């Protein structure tokens, strides 16, 4: 069952995707955070697999990754946590991380365990398109995992169309050629978003990087099916005494202003 496609069939605008780093703030917070995000209005969740060298991430997510690793988070531990609640989480879950830890775990093993843990899709920003197409695609498709690529304002039309032909789930449109956590100047990128929409792609578009409040979420949703928020949510829960309450307040601020 393709949970991401089912989501877009039910809701094709104002889709809210939230990113958090597994094992942060504490090792065993993953399940609590997922339940809270589901109950408080997130449509989709990206679960970050912590990595020691997250090149695309800004300091907040890098710091959360370091803390999660110090807490003892591993891919194996994450799959155990997810498997325990897979029947309780009804919104689509995506694993986001980097290629090296996945290859160390074993690609086929990773994909099989992801499927068994209730994962719908995978984002690996440093997996090149040709390598995916020629070497790795089979492992993902055999395990019914949507693979989601990132595009930037510099991505050519030819490459975007190639990505669209290979992608399932959605395409992650990075708001600028920067790291996560930078304030997004969405007005300055209107031509970029219009260019994407003019291509009439088969996949939905979600905009990420720098989306942090109601205003930027609404602006992103004017040009796409929805938006992805990571850094601002991690900031919201880092020192929270009650993660569910902090999640409720944060998601209300995004959805209702």
Active site residues: 46, 57
User: Could you give the CA distance from residue 27 to residue 97 in angstroms, rounded to a whole number?
Assistant: 17
Q: How far apart are the first and last CA of the chain?
A: 34
Contact call for residues 93 and 120 (beta carbons, < 8 A): yes
Three-state SS at 123:
strand
User: Could you give the CA distance from residue 114 to residue 97 in angstroms, rounded to a whole number?
Assistant: 13
**Contacts (Cβ under 8 Å, ≥6 apart) of 1:** none
Q: How many CA atoms lie within 13 A of 136 on its CB side?
A: 22
**E strand or H helix that includes residue 48:** strand 44-48
User: Could you give the CA distance from residue 61 to residue 28 in angstroms, rounded to a whole number?
Assistant: 18
């Amino acid at each position: 069952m393709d949970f991401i496609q089912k989501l877009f069939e039910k809701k094709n605008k104002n889709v809210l995707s939230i990113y958090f780093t597994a094992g942060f703030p504490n090792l065993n917070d993953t399940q609590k955070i997922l339940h809270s995000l589901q109950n408080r209005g997130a449509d989709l969740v990206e679960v970050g697999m912590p990595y020691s060298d997250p090149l695309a991430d800004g300091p907040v997510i890098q710091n959360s990754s370091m803390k999660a690793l110090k807490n003892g988070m591993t891919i194996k531990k994450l799959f155990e946590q997810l498997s325990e609640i897979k029947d309780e989480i009804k919104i689509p879950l995506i694993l986001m991380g980097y290629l090296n830890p996945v290859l160390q775990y074993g690609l086929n093993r990773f994909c099989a365990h992801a499927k068994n843990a209730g994962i719908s899709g995978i984002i690996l920003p440093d997996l090149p398109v040709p390598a995916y197409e020629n070497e790795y695609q089979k492992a993902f498709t055999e395990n019914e995992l949507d693979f989601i690529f990132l595009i930037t304002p510099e991505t050519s039309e030819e490459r975007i169309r190639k990505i669209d032909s290979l992608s399932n789930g959605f395409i992650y449109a990075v708001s600028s050629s920067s790291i996560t956590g930078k304030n997004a100047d969405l007005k300055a990128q209107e031509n970029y978003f219009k260019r994407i929409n003019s291509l009439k792609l088969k996949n939905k578009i979600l905009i990420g990087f720098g989306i942090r409040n109601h205003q930027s979420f609404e602006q992103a949703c004017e040009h796409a099916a929805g938006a992805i928020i990571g850094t601002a949510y991690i900031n919201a829960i880092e020192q929270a005494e009650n993660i569910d309450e902090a999640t409720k307040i944060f998601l209300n601020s995004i959805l209702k202003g």
